[in-house]
């Protein structure tokens, strides 16, 4: 059980990190209005 808990903890922390990283990426791209729509669609796909 401890091994499974550790794996789930790593997956959970990784998903939080990836969501934060994607949020920063989208925020940076929103500074450029030309790239806003296609990149947001690609990130949400």
Comparing 21 with 44, which gets the higher pLDDT?
21
Average pLDDT over residues 29-42: 61
Average pLDDT over residues 14-43: 71
Q: Which pLDDT score, from 0 to 100, does residue 35 have? A: 52
pLDDT in tens, 19-30: 888 888 778 777
**Of all residues in the chain, what percent carry a pLDDT higher than 70?**
64
Q: How far is CA 11 from CA 4, 23, 43, in A?
A: 11, 18, 20
Is the pLDDT score of 8 beyond 80?
yes
List all residues 6 or more positions away from 43 whose beta carbon is below 8 Å from its beta carbon. Answer: 22, 25, 26
- The reported pLDDT for the residue numbered 20 is 82
């Amino acid at each position: 059980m401890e091994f499974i808990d550790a794996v789930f903890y790593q997956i959970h922390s990784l998903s939080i990190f990836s969501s934060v990283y994607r949020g920063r990426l989208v925020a940076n791209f929103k500074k450029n209005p030309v790239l806003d729509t296609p990149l947001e669609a690609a990130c949400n796909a």
